[in-house]
Chains A and B, each alone.
Chain A
Amino acid sequence: MIIQVLNGLVYGGMLYILSVGLVLLFGLRRVVNFAHGGLFMLGAYAGYAASMQFGFWGGVVFSVVALAVLGALLDRLVFRPLQNVDHMITVLVTYGLLLVFEDFVHTVWGADLISVRVPALLAGTIGIGDTQFPVYRLVVIAVAIAVALGLSAWLHFSRAGLYVRASSVDSLTTAMQGVDTERLSIGVVALGTALAGLSGVVAAPLIALSPSMGSSILIESFIVVVTGGLGSFVGAFIAAIVIGQVHNFGVVYLPNVSSMLPLLLMVGVLIWRPTGLARTQS
């Protein structure tokens, strides 16, 4: 039982790191980034490629840095020029980017599944109760907790964090108060995409790499973001943990309908609170 809960936490933690990046982008740019799953995938592949040269940890660093740079470019080349048009246009453009990213990965690494090995240092298992549990999975949980703590400390105790929170509540008023949201956004978008890269590279040893890995996790992270309340950091955290558990419970006990469970949870939450778990006003 405790193993199931832990496995749910692993998946939930992965979802959280990915989804909170979406929340950051949405908060500042009011845009849902359909390319986010593509960034997750690019992060995983970039980490895989770099790990060939520099080992697993080199791969992690490379992937996070590369994705942060890509995010800064995205902000300057896509989100900023499109900020005054209908948000749906930006959504469609990011969807186009997702297709391009998938084609890119497909071209460079092919369509075959690639499995990434857990680094030797973390390859062992650890006894929990009377079963063995892989250490690497515990590390994934730890990374997710570290991201959550680091992010909330940043959001609550730094000036930039204050601006980000203010901007995700009301970006116009925040700008009127003299906050340069333009300067802020390049860093925040880079942070969001770096987190997508981090989740991809951390998840890589647990799931096989394929050009379609991005779109399937994108859907789950959308469920997390909508359930938590668009633009809410706390909501995304709670929703990711709950959906991680629901997902894992479904896979183990109700395999036929497992994919429906997160969706049903989201529908239930939307009926109960149309703006999601954490959002109080629309």
Chain B
Amino acid sequence: MSTPAAMAISAPTQKKTAAPLIVAAVVAAIGFALPSLGVPMTTLSLLAQASIVGVLATAVGFLVRQSGFVSFGHAAFYGGSAYLIALLAAHSKLSAEIILIAAPIIVLVAGFALAFIMLRTSGVAYSMLSLAAAQACFELMMKWRSIANGEDGLAIKLPREVFGLPLSIFQRPDSMFMVSWAVLVVIVVCLWFLSRSHFGTLTLAIKNNEERVRFLGYETLLPRAIIIALSAFIAAIGGVLFALYNGFVTPMALHWSLSGEALVIAIIGGTRAAWGPALGAFIFIFLRDIAGNNTTHWQGIVGITLIVVTVLLPNGISGALVTLWNRARGVSNV
């Protein structure tokens, strides 16, 4: 909390109360209780999907919040991690547990290395570059039939037990929702703590004005690279969940329409709060399910929603909720 520039954007002016924490704990608990409340299986399947996509959207939103970079290529980390699992499971003798842990770590390291190239650009060029890089991965897996089986994708060979749990736990909607919900909650809580830490404030300050932060004597390249790598890592964890749940991966997990979807979810949910993109994911997946049954214009609806939200609600739904909450408590908005 030593950089004035950062104080200006993130200074918490709300009264410190336990209320938000209680709300968060209640929401998390409700999530865990859902499967035992007799929620239908189709709903649970949507919930499981939403939590997995929520992890990916959280990664995208985290990058926007802490660095201002708008990524159009996060599917590369997500699908890349799923492909790594599939390829390592098929071609190496490593145990499934090691593969499932190694995949996101490899993506983390790759993301860190990639960050130094990405950081040579700025702002808008970052978006263009992330899109191009991710789509190149998609094309690579699409065309390199001998290793990735092209469009048909790969089945992921996993043993019957993973981490001492039967594999079916990860492939049934009710139990997988619990697992992915737990992962999502842990990630959001970690990111919430991170955004309150010195490192979080520093990266916000760099986002606001990189030059000034350098003048204050901070190294600014490394923190940004770490943010990009962490965001890649979170997306890769989403990829692990996806791989476990589906047991199958196709190039569509790398396609830019998925990257775009994750970005739209993050923007609609709102990136100022760590939990915004996750909220966006649940709204998005359920709306898509409703719309899918009634119209073929889902893509157009998404496009219009994106335009309306970016113009009218720049902080997304979570931002609007926070404003309402503060107003209800009689606290002025930040």
Contacts and interface: CB of A to CB of B under 8 A. Distances in A.
Interface stretch (A91-99, A127-135, A145-153, A187-195): A91-99
B317 to A, nearest CB: 15
Nearest to A274: B120
A95 B306 contact: yes
Contacts of B122: 282
Nearest to A87: B124
B256 interface: yes
Contacts of B123: 87-88
Given A219-B131, A219-B135, A91 B70 contact: yes
B307 A88 contact: no
Majority secondary structure of chain A interface residues (helix, strand, loop or mixed): helix
Majority secondary structure of chain B interface residues (helix, strand, loop or mixed): helix
A260 interface: yes
Contacts of B297: 103, 107
Nearest to B147: A256
B267 interface: yes
B27 to A, nearest CB: 27
Nearest to B135: A219
A3 interface: no
A91 B299 contact: no
B124 A88 contact: yes
B169 interface: no
Interface string A159-200: 000000000000000000000000000000000000000000
A96 B304 CA distance: 6
A106 B299 contact: yes
Interface in A60-106: 82, 87-89, 91-93, 95-100, 102-104, 106
Contacts of B296: 106-107
Interface residues of B, number: 41
A270 B119 CA distance: 10
Interface stretch (B46-54, B88-96, B138-146): B138-146
Interface of B: 68, 70, 72, 117, 120-125, 127-129, 131-133, 135-136, 139-140, 143-144, 146, 256-257, 260, 263, 267, 296-297, 299-300, 302-307, 310-311, 314
Given A219-B256, A226-B121, A262-B132, 9 more contacts: A89-B314, A95-B306, A99-B260, A215-B257, A226-B129, A226-B132, A257-B144, A259-B136, A282-B122
Interface of A: 31-32, 82, 87-89, 91-93, 95-100, 102-104, 106-107, 215-216, 219, 222-223, 225-226, 230, 255-260, 262-263, 266-267, 270-271, 274, 282
17 contacts: A82-B311, A87-B124, A88-B68, A88-B70, A88-B127, A89-B311, A93-B310, A96-B304, A96-B305, A100-B300, A107-B297, A256-B144, A257-B144, A259-B135, A270-B117, A270-B120, A282-B122
What 10 A-B pairs are tightest by C-beta distance, nearest first?
Answer: A99-B303, A259-B139, A103-B300, A96-B306, A100-B303, A96-B307, A222-B128, A274-B120, A96-B303, A263-B136
